[in-house]
Every structure is written in C-alpha cells, then in structure tokens.
Amino acid sequence: MGNAGGAAAAPDGRRTILIADDDAGVRQLLCSLLTADFLVTTAADGDAAIGLIESGGSFDAVLSDYSMPGSNGIEVLQRARQRLPSARLYLMSGALPEIARQQATETGATVVAKPFDGAEIKKLLAESNTGSAGEHDPRERQVRRST
C-alpha cells in the first residue's frame, strides 16, 4: 500500500505523502482517496513513520494520527519539520488535548478532526498545493465523515 521509502517526486508528477495511522481502515481509506493525486507511503505507527522520515524519505506532505503506539503524532510531525522543512503537516485526531493542539500549531501543522469526510481531506490537501510551508497558516479544520 504505497512505496517503501518516499520519493522526492513521483515520475508521473504526483506529490508525495506519508500517512501515519495505527488504524488499518483509516490508512486504506486515505490511500484509496489520495492515490490519484499523490504517491502514497503508509506507516502503521509513529515509530515506523519516523523511521521512513529518518531514512531519507522525502515527502511533500505528512498526515499523521495523534494517538498511535510508539511515537505519537506530535513527535512524528516534529521530526518531519526538522528533516522536511517545506513539507505540509497535518495532525488527525478524534480528541486532541489542548497541549497537543498547541504543539501542532507550533510545528506548523493543520489539525484535522476525526471523523472526517474524504472529499474534504482531498480539498484540504489540494489547497495546500499553493504557497510554501512557511506561508501556511495552521488552523483547525473540522472535516466530517459523510453519512
């Protein structure tokens, strides 16, 4: 479900994204939603995501769940910011403690509330295609799941 290490740019022009979530269903959903527009790499926990980033993976965006085994989403995004300064960062959570929300904002991440709507996730990531990460205005997005 995705490439093994992340690429600087997909040969077909798609941007690269790392999705980190311990819920296989969420990973599969996001992968199916985003594969047309992104070269998708997935990680089943925070430590695996950090390993991909540390091993030289180059990603245009990192979309991480907050609560995962091993390293949490804040730790993943902090490492991504250090290694991938121009990457767009997104933190997903159904219930985010205020301190984690502050840390996400300090890291330059956009908070995406779970449950989310697939079309809204695609729209949010498409919006991030303009400007640089330094110009990105971190904000909380309430992205709801369709019923």
pLDDT band at 20 (very low <50, low <70, confident <90, very high): very high
CATH number at residue 73: 3.40.50.2300
pLDDT tens by residue, 55-97? 998 999 999 999 999 999 999 999 999 999 999 999 999 999 9
pLDDT of residue 140: 45
Residue 4 lies in a domain: no
| Proportion of the chain in helix, strand, coil states, percent, rounded to 5 | 35, 20, 40
The structure's pTM equals: 0.82
- Higher pLDDT pick, 145 / 26: 26
pLDDT band at 126 (very low <50, low <70, confident <90, very high): confident
Residue 147 lies in a domain: no
pLDDT of residue 10: 67
Q: Which domain holds residue 64?
A: 15-142
Residue 83 lies in a domain: yes
Please state, in angstroms and rounded to a whole number, the distance separating the CA atoms of residues 40 and 18: 6
Evaluate if residue 139 carries a pLDDT over 60: no
Among the listed residues 31, 58, 57, 61, the one whose alpha carbon sits nearest the alpha carbon of residue 44 = 31
Share of the chain above pLDDT 90, in %: 64
Residue 5 lies in a domain: no
Evaluate if residue 147 carries a pLDDT over 80: no
Evaluate if residue 13 carries a pLDDT over 90: no
3-state secondary structure of 126: helix
Residue 21 lies in a domain: yes
Residue with tokens 């180059």, as numbered in its chain: 58
- Domain total for the chain? 1
Residue with tokens 């991030």, as numbered in its chain: 128
